[in-house]
Structure formats: structure tokens, C-alpha cells
Amino acid sequence: MKKAWVAGVFGVIAIAGAAQAGELPGGADDFYTECVEWDFPLSPGKQTLQLPKFDTNDGLHVLKLVHLSWEGSMSANVTAENDSEIAAPEFSVGLTGLVNLDINGGTVLGSLGFVRVAGPVAVAASDGVPDMGPDFHDFGLVSDTDFDSTFEIPAAVWLAFPDTFDVQVTGSGGFAVSGSADSSIMVSNFRTSGEVCVTYYYNIIPTPGAFGLAGLTGLALLRRRR
């Protein structure tokens, strides 16, 4: 059975799961995932998150593999106006943006790229009245999403981490108008949000008590067979 819990302002999300031997990567017995979320305005902008390192459970868990993944979005509310004396039948706005992730001081680097075009729409030549009229268009929320991951990071790298390690998230982006030689654009609520997750695959070392219980169970079965 899988379980999940959430704690903290930005949400440290942990997911644990179990499977039979050989079903998980690297022949691991079990896994759990820790996620932290970012959300900040642009542009540019940044935020520092913290992830906990692998929990050895007092030496009873042996790390096998590490999987990192991150996904996010970039969005804004956009309006634009044709300021040219010529009508613009192919009027559009385009978003380009980038989010970079630096995990534990450059141990792992990642990025997300965002590209989105809204339109085209037909607008009239400038009527000289700002923010309204047939030369003006509200493109609404313009956004894009991206996802990336990395796998099989050496266990020794992660075991050397501090109890918690930083994830530096930086983002930048912008909008541009096309289809008109002279235009103006209004951007509001420009921001990025997303999450970065680390999944730890590990083997379980049975405790001495577990060995004793297994022995007693085996002895009982043997007596029944006799």
C-alpha cells in the first residue's frame, strides 16, 4: 500500500511504496519520494528549497539508486494593443522562459524551458484609445509546462549530503508581440511554479529480531510437517 503525507508551508511531500524483490530498479526492496514545491513571481526571480537526504533508518536501509525529477510551469495574464496605423490580421504574443535548478551546490543541475504562442488574432489599426477597442486584445492566461529527470545517481554522493540540502531555483522569462510593426503589451501575475522530487530506492537489512522470528516460524512449520 502506498501512503503520502504533507508538511510545511511549501509542502514537503513524501510517498512510500513497497514491491516484491526484483520489481524495483536496481533490485531494491522499497522506495520513498520527497518533494518540495516552488512558486514565485518573475522576472527574474528565485527561491531556495530544502530536501532531506536519504534516511538510513539507523543503518537498516541501504541506498541503491536515486532518481531526481522536476516539473513546472510559467504563466501570465497578457493583453496587447496594435499601435500601428495598419491593421494586424496575424496579431499574437509569445512566451519564452527558463527555470534552472541547482541541487546541493552544483551536485546536480537541471532546467525547464517554456515556449508558448497565443494567437494569432485579427485586430484593427490603432484608434488612439489605450486598452480598449478593435485594436486591443486580451489573450487571457498564457502558460506552458515542462518536465525533466535524471536517474541512477551514485549512492555515495547522496550519503555524503547534509541532513537537509538546498535546491536553488531561479527563473526568468518574457513576452513579445508579433504581427505588428508598432504595439504595446501588458503582462500581469507573471510567475513560475512547480516541484522537484527525489526518490530513494533501497534494500532493507532484517533486524536480529526478524531473523529470530523467521527461525521460530520455520521450526513451527517443520514440526507441523512431521
Q: Where do the structural domains in the chain lie, given as residue ranges?
A: 3-225
Tens of pLDDT, residue by residue over 171-215, are 999 999 999 999 999 999 999 999 999 999 999 988 665 444 444
b/e per residue 196-214 (b: at least 16 CB within 10 A) = bbbbbbbbeeeeeeeeeee
Three-class SS state of 11: coil
The three cell numbers of residue 152 are 541512477
pLDDT under 50 in the chain at which residues? 1-16, 18-22, 210-226
Assign 156 to helix, strand or coil.
Answer: helix
Predicted local distance difference test score (pLDDT) of residue 209 = 54
Residues in contact with 30: Cβ distance below 8 Å, sequence separation at least 6, in sequence order? 16, 17, 18, 19, 24, 61, 201, 202, 203, 204
Q: How far apart are CA 39 and CA 170, in angstroms?
A: 11
Q: What is the structure's pLDDT at 147? A: 97
Predicted TM-score (pTM) of the model is 0.79
CA distance 226 to 85: 100
| Beta strands 88-103 and 30-41, pairing class | unpaired
Burial classification of residue 8, based on how many CB atoms lie within 10 Å of its CB (0-12 exposed, 13-18 middle, 19 or more buried) = exposed
Which residues have a Cβ under 8 Å from the Cβ of 35 and sit 6 or more positions away? 11, 12, 13, 14, 15, 195, 196, 197, 198
State the Cα–Cα distance between residues 39 and 171, nearest whole angstrom: 10
| pLDDT confidence of residue 219 | 36
Give the per-residue pLDDT at 57. Answer: 84
From residue 221, alpha-carbon distances to 47, 140, 208, 212, 226 in Å are 58, 70, 20, 14, 9
Q: What is the pLDDT of residue 2?
A: 27
